[in-house]
Amino acid sequence: MTDNIIEVKNLTKIYNEGNILAVDNISFEIQKGEIFALLGPNGAGKTTTISMLATLLTPTEGEATVNTFNIRKDSKSVRKSIGIVFQEPSLDSDMKGRENLELHAILYGMPKKERRDKINEVLKLVNLEDKADLYVKNYSGGMKRRLEIARGLIHEPEVLFLDEPTLGLDPQTRRKIWEKIKGLNQLNITILLTTHYMEEADELADRICIMDHGKIIAMDTSENLKKKLSGDIIDLEFEKIENRIEFPQIFPEIMKIEGVRNISLGDSKNNQETMPMNINLPANMPNINPEMIQARMREIMSDPKKLLNAWKKFPMATQMFLDAPLEAKKQIAKLFDDNLLEQVPDSIKTELIKIKKGDYSEEDTDFEPKISISCEDGGKQLPLIIQKINKNNMKIKNVNMHRPTLEDVFLFFTGDAIREESSNRIKNIKKFIQMRQLRK
């Protein structure tokens, strides 16, 4: 026997209507007593996952157990083991609060004697004792949510499913609901919640599972994810830079600063189109000697064959050549005779021929780069970063520091995916829209 209360294995859901892959082969386990959050944007497949676990939808493929009961074979036992609070309200607003709870207790087969005590108990738990005899239609949004949570607890479930528990609530009410959820967890109730609020998952969950396009992108304890996600993002815009071949040399130096995790480069003049030049250095190789990189670059730049190789393999190298200062380009052009020129990729070839002929206009070389630095404790590190940059004789035009938004986080985790599938992006957007329409 394991301590896992929920085990999900290769769960997949395809909606026949519109042929939409809502959940794509996901697997995870939830331990007893844990708060587990499914975090993701709208249409990521969170609600579909919860609906399958609650046996409201049949999975297309894969298996899952809730409280050791199989969701395909033993839906009745699964349903008795869970309490569920739906994303949309599901109260009977023409009845009183207490009546809603009583109805639920009967649905779950509670004997009459137990019923009254339990209802009073859960009402106390969500502080609704004095409002219990009002009609639900007179409740505020937060009260309704609390009543629904209370309702989900009446039959003493092992797991409580909360689908977007604070959607559309004001910050104060949200915080109150968070307190309630934490309190429930202390009563040893396992909680599976979905949310698209970063802070909510951060605040509540022991482990967070980030979903997007029906897939699990990242899953870890709140602490570990925080290390990757939290911190600040510093955007730096530079004045025009002459020597662009030396510009990337500041990267390794900035990376050396404590807390800096990721630098991405973008030209502030041409925006996102050239953004994919991310330099993501893996966390496990922190000490790159900048001199080593420079030496390596010099080595490559002196050997036409190595250059050819680099251009063919890495689109980034091509971009670097095109962005390189005229001096460097002239040097490179000297290396290529007519024979070698035949092997050069087209975009570079035209540039090289231009330089050889000598009709190269200086205007094209304007280079005003913009970099984004993801950095822990940014306020403290920013002066250091600026110092390093000043040492390299580069002028900063604009500095902007902000906490990572949910978007930054998703870019962080889906960065690779975006680059790989950039041509598929429009397709993905269409898929999103379809999903949303389907739900409605």
Partner 1 sequence: MVKINILPKDLNYNVVWMLVRREIVAFWRSKARVITSIAQGFLFLFIFSAGFAKFPIVIDGKVIESTSYVASGICAMAILFMGIFGGLGLMRDRLFGFMKELMASPVSRRTLMFGKTFGVAIQTVIQSVIFLIVSIIFGFFSLDIGMIWRVLTIIPIALLASIGVVGLGLIISTRLRDFQSFGLIQTFIVMPMFWLSGALMPVNAMDEWMQIAMRFNPYTYTVDLFRMVLLGVSLYPIWLDLLVMTSFGLVMILIGAWSFNKMEINQ
Name the residues that contact partner 1, by CB under 8 A: 51, 54, 56-57, 75-77, 79-80, 84, 86, 88-95, 103-104, 106-109, 151, 439
| Residue (109 or 282) nearer to partner 1, CB | 109
H helices within 109-258, ranges in order? 112-125, 141-153, 171-186, 198-204, 222-229, 250-256
Q: How far is the CB of 75 from partner 1 (least distance, A)?
A: 8
Q: How far is the CB of 79 from partner 1 (least distance, A)?
A: 4
Q: Which residues contact 36 (CB under 8 A, 6 or more apart)?
A: 6, 28, 30, 190, 191, 192, 193, 205, 206, 207, 208, 209
Sign of the four-CA dihedral 31, 37, 42, 44 = negative
- Neighbour order of strands in the sheet with 20-31: 20-31, 4-15, 61-66, 69-70
Q: Supply the DSSP string of 355-384, one letter for each residue.
A: HHHT---GGGG---EEEEEEETTHHHHHHH
- Neighbour order of strands in the sheet with 369-375: 278-279, 260-267, 369-375, 232-238, 396-402
Instruction: Determine the distance from the C-alpha atom of residue 281 to the mean position of all C-alpha atoms in its chain, rounded to a whole number.
Output: 19
| Residue (66 or 385) nearer to partner 1, CB | 66
| Residue (82 or 389) nearer to partner 1, CB | 82
Q: How far is the CB of 95 from partner 1 (least distance, A)?
A: 7
Sign of the four-CA dihedral 14, 35, 228, 197 = positive
| Residue (84 or 233) nearer to partner 1, CB | 84
Instruction: Determine the distance from the C-alpha atom of residue 317 to the mean position of all C-alpha atoms in its chain, rounded to a whole number.
Output: 29
Instruction: Determine the distance from the C-alpha atom of residue 370 to the mean position of all C-alpha atoms in its chain, rounded to a whole number.
Output: 23
Q: How far is the CB of 62 from partner 1 (least distance, A)?
A: 19
Q: How far is the CB of 439 from partner 1 (least distance, A)?
A: 7
| Residue (90 or 387) nearer to partner 1, CB | 90
Q: How far is the CB of 44 from partner 1 (least distance, A)?
A: 16
Backbone φ and ψ for 245, nearest 5 degrees, come out as -70, -25
Question: What is the SS3 assignment for 329?
Answer: helix
| Residue (94 or 223) nearer to partner 1, CB | 94
Q: How far is the CB of 428 from partner 1 (least distance, A)?
A: 22
Q: How far is the CB of 241 from partner 1 (least distance, A)?
A: 54
Distance CA 62, CA 74 (A): 15
Sign of the four-CA dihedral 185, 187, 191, 193 = negative
| Residue (122 or 255) nearer to partner 1, CB | 122
Q: Are the beta carbons of 431 and 213 closer than 8 angstroms?
A: yes
Compute the half-sphere exposure of residue 84: CA atoms within 13 Å on the CB side of its CA: 20
Q: How far is the CB of 425 from partner 1 (least distance, A)?
A: 27
Q: How many CB atoms lie within 10 A of CB 386?
A: 14
Q: How many CB atoms lie within 10 A of CB 343?
A: 13
| Residue (135 or 314) nearer to partner 1, CB | 135
| Residue (103 or 322) nearer to partner 1, CB | 103
Q: How far is the CB of 12 from partner 1 (least distance, A)?
A: 17
| Residue (113 or 357) nearer to partner 1, CB | 113
Q: Token pair of 377, please?
A: 């404790």
Residue with tokens 């002028």: 395
